[in-house]
Every structure is written in structure tokens, then in C-alpha cells.
């Protein structure tokens, strides 16, 4: 069923589009300045600008995705995806961030794991889950990524040893604009909502488990496998 955007979502979508231009210009200038001979302090300042602009870019993309979801316009294009290879690529990109906080990321797989999915959207989901796990994990801890394939599905689990999810908030973890009061991570509360919607468009499921506060969290992503060719099949 096609959803209808609220006035607030329409306003946020317009604002997100308007913000895209200035952020793109800022990142373009940063890219040009990075080629110049700058001192150490100037480079540190430039890196702060770059990181801040990238954070704003992610927030803008979340707003645009939420607008597409509300209007029933979020689409996926399926092709055969190696889930393990995609996950390892994301882990490699996130390792520097993890190492700064002395967090180890362990990847375990029980053989090949392929599914019919939109690789860019699946990358978005996995990146969100792993980034959340790192953000909410204490210094010196670990994050586990497990991928298992059966005859009819691929199961991916992201487990952390962080602050956990309170029993009262657990039923609301995928609701839009909802953030637990204990959260210290900046954001709009849309990342998990969008990930959940993307997974459902793929005919899969995304669930959250936690034994409670301070007990860590586990997010389980289940995607179906397909026997028939899936290249260039659009849905959404």
C-alpha cells in the first residue's frame, strides 16, 4: 500500500534537497584544499570540516530516504550479491574507526552466502548496523558479525557488548524519530527505521534483541535466497 507523506515529511524533504547544494560545495572545497601544501593545524581543521560535512550528508540522505519511504517511492534493483564479500568490504572500511576506540571486529561465516538484493541498499543496511554497534560499544570491547546461509535464506547477525536496549524501548527500536533517552549518539533516529524498510522491501526481516541495559544488543538480518535469476528486477 502506498503511504502518504505528512506535511512534516514534505517540509523535511524540501529542506534536505536545499541543503544538498551547500554541503556538496563544502566537500568540493575540502577536496581542493587537501591538494594544497598545508600545515599540520590547517590539515586537522580541514579534517574536522570534512567529517562534519559527511555527517550532515548522511543526515540529509536519511531525510530523503524517509521521504521516499513515506511516499512509497523507495525502489530496489535486485542482483546476485555475495553477502560475505560485501560485509567484509564494509568491515575493512570501518576498522580504522574501530581501532581508534580499541574495538575488535570479528567476522565469522560458514561458507558462501549469496542472495538476490540491491547491493547499494544492502550495503546501507549493513553499514548502519555495524556503525551502530561500534557507536554503542565501550572502549576495548568487540563486535561480532556472523553470516550463515541455509537452503532458503541468508542470516546475518551483528552482536555488540555495549549499552544494550532497555525492555521498555525494545519494541520501538525501529520506529522513526525514536531515540532512547540514554543514547549519546547524534542522529535523527531514522537509520534503523530506513534499514528495516529496506529489508522488508527485499522480503526479509530485521529484528533486535537485548537482555537489557548494559547487556549488549544483537540485530539479526534475514534475507531469502532465490533459485531464479534476479538481475535487473526492480521492486518497491
pTM, two decimals, is: 0.75
pLDDT digits (tens, 9 = 90+) for 202-226: 999 999 999 888 889 999 999 998 6
Burial class (CB in 10 A: 0-12, 13-18, 19+), 19: middle
pLDDT of amino acid 2: 47
Q: Which of 41-50, 81-90, 224-233 has the highest mean pLDDT?
A: 81-90
- Split at pLDDT 50, 70, 90, the class of 233 is very low
pLDDT digits (tens, 9 = 90+) for 7-62: 656 666 666 666 667 777 887 888 888 888 888 888 888 888 877 776 677 767 76
CA distances for 80 relative to 68, 92, 129, 180, angstroms? 24, 21, 21, 36
pLDDT digits (tens, 9 = 90+) for 60-77: 776 666 667 777 767 888
**3-state SS, residue 178:** coil
d(Cα 70, Cα 201) in Å, to the nearest integer?
13
> Can you tell me the mean pLDDT for 116-138?
90
H helix runs in the chain, sequence order: 7-33, 40-70, 83-100, 119-135, 191-201
**3-state SS, residue 115:** strand
d(Cα 104, Cα 178) in Å, to the nearest integer?
28
Flag whether pLDDT at 127 surpasses 70: yes
> Can you tell me the mean pLDDT for 171-198?
75
d(Cα 186, Cα 55) in Å, to the nearest integer?
9
pLDDT digits (tens, 9 = 90+) for 145-169: 999 998 889 999 999 988 888 888 8
Among residues 137, 213, 140, the alpha carbon closest in space to that of 170 is found at 213
Q: What are phi and psi of 145, to 5 degrees?
A: -120, 120
> Can you tell me the mean pLDDT for 66-94?
84
Cβ contacts of 228 within 8 Å, gap of 6 or more: none
Flag whether pLDDT at 126 surpasses 90: yes
Q: What are phi and psi of 89, to 5 degrees?
A: -65, -45
Reading phi first (left if > 0) and then psi (alpha if -120 to 50, else beta), residue 127 is in alpha
Amino acid at each position: 500500500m502506498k503511504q502518504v507523506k505528512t506535511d512534516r515529511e514534505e517540509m523535511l524533504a524540501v529542506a534536505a534537497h536545499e541543503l544538498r547544494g551547500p554541503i556538496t560545495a563544502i566537500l568540493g572545497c575540502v577536496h581542493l584544499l587537501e591538494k594544497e601544501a598545508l600545515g599540520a593545524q590547517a590539515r586537522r581543521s580541514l579534517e574536522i570540516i570534512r567529517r562534519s560535512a559527511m555527517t550532515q550528508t548522511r543526515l540529509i540522505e536519511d531525510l530523503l530516504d524517509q521521504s521516499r519511504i513515506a511516499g512509497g517511492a523507495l525502489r530496489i534493483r535486485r542482483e546476485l550479491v555475495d553477502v560475505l564479500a560485501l560485509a567484509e568490504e564494509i568491515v575493512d572500511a570501518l576498522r580504522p574507526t574501530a581501532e581508534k576506540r580499541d574495538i575488535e571486529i570479528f567476522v565469522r561465516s560458514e561458507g558462501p552466502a549469496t542472495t538476490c538484493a540491491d547491493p547499494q541498499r544492502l550495503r546501507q543496511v549493513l553499514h548502519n548496523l555495524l556503525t551502530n554497534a561500534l557507536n554503542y560499544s565501550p572502549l576495548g570491547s568487540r563486535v561480532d558479525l556472523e553470516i550463515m546461509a541455509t537452503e532458503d535464506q541468508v542470516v546475518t547477525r551483528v552482536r555488540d557488548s555495549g549499552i544494550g536496549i532497555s525492555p521498555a524501548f525494545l519494541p520501538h527500536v525501529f520506529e522513526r524519530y525514536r531515540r532512547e533517552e540514554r543514547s549519546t549518539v547524534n542522529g535523527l533516529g531514522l537509520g534503523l527505521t530506513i534499514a528495516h524498510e529496506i529489508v522488508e522491501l527485499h522480503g526479509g526481516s530485521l529484528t533486535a534483541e537485548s537482555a537489557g541495559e548494559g547487556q549488549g544488543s544483537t540485530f539479526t538480518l534475514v534475507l531469502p535466497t532465490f533459485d531464479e535469476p534476479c538481475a535487473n528486477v526492480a521492486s518497491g
